[in-house]
Amino acid sequence: MAGNVGEDETTRILKILKEHPLGMSIKEISAAVSMSRNSAAKYLEVLTVSGQLELRHIGNAKLYTLSRRIPIGNLLNHAGELIIVLDNDLRIVQASDSFCLFAGVPRPKILGFHLSSLTVPLLSERDELELQALLRGGPSLKKEIRAVRNGDEVFFNGRFIPALFENGGSGVTVILEDITERMRAERATLERDRLLHTIFHIPTTPQFYIDRNHKVVYWDRALEIMTGIKAEEMVGTHNHWKMFYPAERPCLADLVIDGNHARIAALYAGSRLPNADEQYEYTGFFSSLGAGGKWLHITAMPIRDPAGNLTGAMETVEDVTDKKNRGFIVSE
């Protein structure tokens, strides 16, 4: 089947059959729409499989009439899933509106193609070989499908069900449930757990962790005791600055995420440059802490995933007021 089924040709065939409610043969239809017999046969096959035409055999002749049933396309378009019907050659003969919208291609330009040859391929040629068993009456298959559309990953739970057409031909009905949001949520949970695992293996100096959007995702118990601010007041907010300053300004961890080395030098004068772990260090006096202020030793370092992508930053906070008052700390 060719992959360029046109809207004009199908419309002309349906129009001429509407004018002949008792039915027409392939020869009569091809002559009426000025189309070769082979081409007309291919369009008639698609229209029959999709439920728009009915086929009757009168002797050796095939007689086509407009269907008096609800077209399968109407049913497909009311389903929440993406649905595709494949013929015996595993070419698309029907597709729901939702699938056409996902593929970004009008229905006439999808018909006749394999799922492996679409602009957004959903199966590999090897996957399609596995579907051959369904054409021979094999059991239904389930498969998780990953595709890339416009640079973004999308995921589907795919069900592949053997189908039998009225003309006796075999095919496959494909039902795709979009599970992209669920997969993203699962990945985010795994990443959060991995990061918290990393955090818990760092020495227990008071610390907090912010993600790359500068939102607090972890505020430890030692920090609660030092600041009097509970984790539930901080997690999910951008308010970590409140433990240091009377008015909002970036913390060292914020600037590490931004990679703003110039501003680090300006706001945290005397801070040590990053070491091999990309860790900044700063010791300074914070007047808004406690009754008379506190001297704090702060470190901040980026946190990266296994691929090296920045996911957030960790900041540790050590109260060194006593050491400073005893002269054990040299201001940096």
Q: Write out the two tokens for 300.
A: 């901040």
CB–CB of 106/160 below 8 Å? no
- CATH of the structural domain 72-178, one choice from 2.40.30.10, 3.30.565.10, 3.30.450.20, 3.40.50.1820: 3.30.450.20
In which order are the strands placed within the sheet that holds 53-58?
A: 24-25, 61-66, 53-58
| pLDDT over threshold 60, residue 11 | yes
CATH no., domain 7-66: 1.10.10.10
| 72-178 and 184-325 agree in CATH topology | yes
Q: By three-state DSSP, how is residue 226 classified?
A: helix
More confident residue, 278 or 63: 63
pLDDT single digits (tens) 36-60:
998 888 888 878 776 778 888 887 8
As a whole number, mean pLDDT of residues 280-308 equals 87
Q: Residues 93, 96, 100, CA angle at the centre, nearest 5°?
A: 90
| pLDDT over threshold 90, residue 250 | yes
pTM of the model: 0.44
Q: What's the confidence (pLDDT) of residue 104?
A: 87
Residues in the chain: 332
- Listed by start position, the domains of the chain span 7-66, 72-178, 184-325
DSSP string of 240-270, one letter each residue: GGGGT-SS----HHHHHHHT-HHHHHHHSTT
| pLDDT over threshold 70, residue 276 | no
Q: Alpha carbon 297 to chain centroid distance?
A: 42
| pLDDT over threshold 60, residue 332 | no
- Residue type for 312, please? G
Q: Alpha carbon 254 to chain centroid distance?
A: 28
Q: State the pairing for strand pair 24-25/152-164.
A: unpaired
Q: What's the confidence (pLDDT) of residue 160?
A: 93
Q: What's the confidence (pLDDT) of residue 6?
A: 45
pLDDT single digits (tens) 96-153:
888 888 888 888 888 889 999 898 899 998 899 989 888 888 888 899 999 988 888 9
- CATH superfamily assigned to domain 184-325: PAS domain (3.30.450.20)
